[in-house]
A and B are shown apart, each in its own frame.
Chain A
C-alpha cells in the first residue's frame, strides 16, 4: 500500500508570493490533516479535512487555507508569504475514527 505522498518536496518562494502544496492520502483514508513544523514551535496543527469539508482548524491566520477533493487528495495554500512561513509542512491521513495518523515526508518551504 502506497504511503502519504506530498508534492513538491522542496520549494523556494519570496515574500509576498503565494504557494500551493499538495497531499495524496493513503488509499481509503478520507481524513487529511496538515501540520507546520518549525524549530521554535514544533509541530502545530493547521487544519483537517474530511469528505471535502474542513472539520477542524488550528490557530493560524486566514492566509493559510486548504481544500479537499472528492478523491480525498488535499491542497493547502498560503498567500502573501512571510519569512516566518518557512517551515516543513506535513500532511497526515487516517481512517475515520482512527487515532493513528500516517504522515507524509513533508514539503520544505523556504521564504526569502
Chain B
C-alpha cells in the first residue's frame, strides 16, 4: 500500500526553466510534508517542508505547494540549474510523534539540461 506516490520516475528540464515535481498521498492523517534531494552515493538531504496548516512555503528558488483537498503537493524549482540534477523524494509524517517515521515516495529523477 503506497501511501505516498510520485508518479513520474523521471523528469527532464532545460536550464533556466521551471521544474515541477509532483507527489500524491492517500493518508488523511499526514500533516507534515517534506522534500529531500539525493545525489548518488550520498544520503538524502532535506530541502524544504510544509505543514498542513499552510498551502505554500518558499525558500529561495524552491517553493512547495500543498493542496489538502486533492491530497497533492508539488515542488517548484525556479530557475532550474544543472546542480539541481538529482533524485527528489517527497515524504510525509503524522504529527510530531511521527516525525522520525517518514513515509517516502519512490522518487523522481530530475535532469537539468544545459
Contact = CB atoms under 8 A, between A and B. Distances in A.
Interface stretch (A14-22, A61-69, A77-85, A101-109): A101-109
Contacts of B42: 105
A42 B105 contact: yes
Contacts, number: 64
A48 B96 CA distance: 13
A33 B104 contact: no
Contacts of B43: 4, 90, 92, 103-106
A101 B100 contact: yes
Query: What bracket does the count of chain A residues touching chain B fall in?
Result: 20 to 34
B108 to A, nearest CB: 11
Interface in B1-49: 32, 34, 36, 41-46, 49
Interface of A: 4, 31, 33, 35, 41-45, 48, 50, 55-56, 58, 90, 92, 94, 97-106
